[in-house]
Amino acid sequence: MGMNERRKIKELEDTTFPARVEDIKEICGAAIPYEVDWESLADDAEGLNFIDNLSCHRLNMALRVICRDDLGKAAVRDGLKLIKLKNVKDKAAMKMTMQSGTLEMHCAYALKSDGMFSESEIQKLLEEKL
C-alpha cells in the first residue's frame, strides 16, 4: 500500500464514513456504523476512489425509499445494525447478504458501476430481510 492509498483510507475513515453514518441517522433515526475490510482495498487506489459512491451513496438512496414512512424507519432502526463492505476483484466474486442485522456487500469497486449493486437491488434485499 502506497502513500496515496493510506491518505485516501485516512480520509474515508476520518471524514467520509462518519458523514455517511450521520446521513443514515438523518434518514432513519439511527446511526448505523460501517465496517470496511481495508485490506481488500489496500492495493486498489481506483476502488478507494469509488467505494463511497458505489456503496454508501447507493445504500442511502435505497434507505430514503424504504424510510419514506414510520414503518420503514422503524424496520431499518430495528433490523439493520451494521454495514460491512469488502472489495473484490471481479463481478464473479460480488455478493450481497443481509443476516442477523448485518448488511454485507462485496463489490468490485475498481470496475465502477459494473462492480456495484444498484439502489433498487439493495432496497429489494433490505425489504425482504427487514
Question: Has residue 1 got a pLDDT over 90?
Answer: no
Mean pLDDT lowest among 3-7, 74-78, 89-93, 117-121 = 3-7
pLDDT at residue 115 is higher than 90 = yes
Task: Please tell me the least confidently modeled range out of 1-5, 44-48, 91-95.
Answer: 1-5
Query: Is the Cβ–Cβ distance between 103 and 126 less than 8 Å?
Result: yes
Q: What is the mean pLDDT of residues 80-94?
A: 98
At residue 45, the pLDDT reads 93
Residues near 57 by Cβ (< 8 Å), separated by ≥ 6? none
